[in-house]
Amino acid sequence: MPAFARFAAAARSLAPRVAVVLGSGMGGVATAFREHATIPFGDVPGLAPPTVSGHGGRLAVGAWDAVPVLVSFGRLHFYEGHPWDVVCGLVRVAAGLGVTAFVQTHAVGGIHPALGPGGLMAVARHLTLFGPAAWRTPAPAAPYSPRLLKVLTDYEAAAGRGLLAGTYAALTGPCYETPAEIRALKAMGADAVGMSTAREAECAAALGLEAAAVSCVTNHAAGIGGDPLDHAEVIRNAKLAADRLAALLGALVAAV
Ligand code: HPA
């Protein structure tokens, strides 16, 4: 049996209702995840092998605490040269395996004053002004599920912490922004900036899935912290909020 047929059979027998995408350097967040089967992106029809260090590039099915979950260790990015169809292939594969919710995590640069390295933000809305258009038809106006957003903010409130429900600016990368671009994004209402997630959330909503996203702040956005940005720092700092993110994701998958 080809690798994907075997993986799909394992997924169908577990019947996960939720997919969780773990972004740059966040694979370690899945401590509560017991893996049953896994497959590299390159063996999944519609996906492609990843090209960025720090991104695992494989799918797995298993149990997150007691909840069956499809986990993607890494994702594909537009800046790797993949067309939007392939970037969003993960959403279609997850939907094909029967999930009803698509949850994403990613690294961001913090623009909002409360968002420094180690901080988290729930994505309530996004800007996709700067990339080439992904769709010919209008994208879903509000792809993020208000219900799942409330699960996230309620969980953090119950733990005595605030969680900003903010605006995520999705740029195509791969280079980080200039300080002038960050000032412009701030004026447009962006709280955090990253290079993924938005098109996938739109695709998920268009397919009728509940979409949610949690941003993990790895650095102050360009010109805000003073320090120049580099990819190694982003990967290192992605681990700062690991415990808090793990707990939050556990609550979210249990609520789907
Ligand atoms: N900009 C864009 N993407 C990012 C950043 C950033 O500052 N940090 C992590 N991903």
Per-residue pLDDT reduced to its tens digit, 108-138: 999 999 999 999 999 999 999 887 888 888 8
Q: What is the atom index within ligand 1 of the atom nearest the CA of 194? A: 3
Q: Which helix (H) or strand (E) is 179 found in, with range?
A: helix 179-187
Q: Are 47 and 86 in contact (CB under 8 A)?
A: yes
* 227-237: pLDDT as tens digits: 767 788 878 88
Taken in order of first residue, the domains within the chain and their CATH numbers are 3-255 (3.40.50.1580)
218 lines ligand 1 (CB under 6 A): yes
Q: What percent of the chain lies above the pLDDT cut of 90? A: 81
| Tens-digit pLDDT profile for residues 165-202 | 999 999 998 999 999 999 999 999 999 999 999 999 99
**pLDDT at position 53 over 70:** no
Q: Which distant-in-sequence residues (6+ apart) come within 8 Å of 58 by Cβ?
A: 38, 39, 40, 41, 72, 73, 74
Task: Report the percent of the chain where pLDDT is more than 70.
Answer: 96
Residue type, 22: L
Distance 224 CA to ligand 1 centre (A): 12
Confidence bin at 50 (pLDDT 50/70/90): confident
Residue in 216, 234, 237 to alter for ligand 1 test, most ligand atoms within 8 A of Cβ: 234
Q: Report how far ligand 1's centroid is from the alpha carbon of 234 (Å).
A: 8
pTM to 2 decimal places: 0.95
- Strands 120-127 and 101-110, bridge-based pairing: unpaired
Q: What is the pLDDT of residue 238?
A: 80
Question: Measured in angstroms, how far is the CA atom of residue 2 from the centroid of ligand 1?
Answer: 37
